[in-house]
Amino acid sequence: MNMPNDRSVWGVETDAFKTSFRTYLQGMQGDDNDRDELIKRVLWCVDVWDQHRREYFPNERCERPLLFPFFEAQGQAGGREKPATYKLFGSQGQPSVIAIQHNLLMATSDLTIWKSKDGERRLVLKKDHILRTHYIERLIVHQLLQQYLVESAPEDVRREYTHQTSSGAAANGGEFKTYKGHGTVFANHANDLNKTHGMPLLGDEFEFSRLRHYKPRHAPSVDRQRPSCSWFGTLDMFFVWDPEADGLTDKQLRENEARMAQALAWYEGAVTLVEAEAPALKTFEAPFDSSCADACINELSAYDKAHGTSLVWDFLNRIRDGFPAVSLESRDVPHSASAEESKVEYVDGSVHTIDELMGDIGLGDVPAKGDKPTLTKVYPLNSPVVSLAQLETDLAEAKAQKVTKAEFAKQRFGHARGDQLSRHMKRLREAVA
């Protein structure tokens, strides 16, 4: 839709511009069903923005009047594309633009609005649900806050935000490029709106929870596990704590689940939680006699090698948890046991020592006591495909046992946090790619 970008054509004042812009859009209706539907939805965006501009940023709060934005609906949301953005200039040179991705605004497809880093959980906005507009409405409020900070906040706030978004951290293009405009200033104003207005559009139904700087390391230590302020208006209703943060306690995980359930109920089916199903495990018959243990280990080991799983690890952990080892004095060890090393027969008929078995199933580097193994020894970089597969399998097993990545790193390698493990996994993925 080509349109004049000189605001004097429309009227400089916000309300005058709104009237002219609506008249212009309505005048384009009538000869194309798809365009008519697009114009209808853009007109809805116009009214949504105006309603919440009056509520959250009335003229008396603005040092300068907010410009009524042009609305664009271009491209497709998904992948790395943001569902909506505030821009100083639009595709045709219009000043002050809110762009909403076409498939989001026009409901042409279901849209994943969040997914976990491991891809096992996703929040999906349904294309054919009447309440999906609630998500877009809150998304517009998010862009409205960014617009306020650029155009109408007090001069000292605008100057600080402009510094963060254009000249801060000049070596890498400023905070807007690095933090996508969601630094300290944005976080503080988002928290103020959530606290004073009961989360925009939600009233007091959802308990206030602080948001942090986009980069956790730039947030106060007390807030580093909180959700990013880039989620303001859309995903902050789903999480009290960042689900990808290291070291979340059981209590924090329960708080997240409760918030998730509350948010899904509020959306009444417009947003659904999709969880990947674990692959079904192959069953097998084992003889119930003295050879049962050998049969179990052989079968599980063969399955692990064929499917990249770690069933033997789980099997051994269950034995360890169910039958705690009792240390024996040397005099209590039978001569036959101390003189002859135990053997294990594999499914191919070959016979191996216990040490060889432990090595084959990935436990040979885990000492019973003493120093912890290193990441590069357990998951060597010179075999990235195998190492990455094993690491992902081990983390999946740990997650199934409700062990966080940070706890896994601490137990297995003695690390204080999970950062080093994450960096090593990133190097493995880069090597595989």
- DSSP symbols for 98-147: EEE-HHHHTT-S-EEEEE-TTSSEEEEE-TT-GGGHHHHHHHHHHHHHHH
Which residue type does 105 have? L
Considering 181-190, 284-293, 336-345, 413-422, the range whose residues carry the highest mean pLDDT is 181-190
What pLDDT sits at residue 70? Answer: 84
SS3 (DSSP) at 86? strand
The predicted model gives 33-54 an average pLDDT of 91
Question: Are 192 and 148 in contact, with CB atoms under 8 Å apart?
Answer: no
pLDDT tens-digit map of 203-260: 889 999 999 999 898 899 999 999 999 999 999 999 999 999 989 999 999 999 999 9
Q: What is the pLDDT of residue 415?
A: 82
Q: Please give the pLDDT value at position 202.
A: 92
- Amino acid 357: pLDDT: 52
The pLDDT value given to residue 264 = 97
C-beta neighbour count of 80 within 10 angstroms:
4
pLDDT category at 173 given cuts 50, 70, 90 is very low
Beta-strand pair 84-89/111-115? unpaired
Give the pair of three-digit tokens for residue 185.
Answer: 């200033």
Question: Helix, strand or coil for residue 215?
Answer: coil
Which sign does the torsion angle of CA 177, 179, 180, 181 carry?
A: negative
Per-residue confidence (pLDDT) for residue 165, from 0 to 100: 63
Give residue-wise pLDDT tens across range 1-16. 555 555 555 555 677 7
Residues comprising the chain, all counted? 433
130 against 179, higher pLDDT: 130
> Is 326's pLDDT higher than 50?
no
Mean pLDDT calculated for residue range 270-293: 67
Nearest CA to 67 among 8, 137, 139, 134? 8
Name the H helices within 163-244: 175-179, 184-197
Least confident of 200-209, 285-294, 312-321, 395-404: 285-294
The overall average pLDDT reported for the chain is 79
The β-bridge partners of 99 are 72, 85
Residue 344 to residue 338: CA distance in whole angstroms: 16
Please state which of the ranges 99-103, 142-146, 237-241, 366-370 shows the lowest mean pLDDT. 366-370
**pLDDT for the residue 89:** 77
Strands of the sheet containing 121-125, edge to edge, are 111-115, 121-125, 271-275
Measured CA to CA, the distance from residue 24 to residue 190 in angstroms comes to: 33
Q: Report the pLDDT value the prediction gives residue 7, as an integer from 0 to 100.
A: 56
Residues 26-40 have a mean pLDDT of: 85
3-class DSSP state of 1: coil
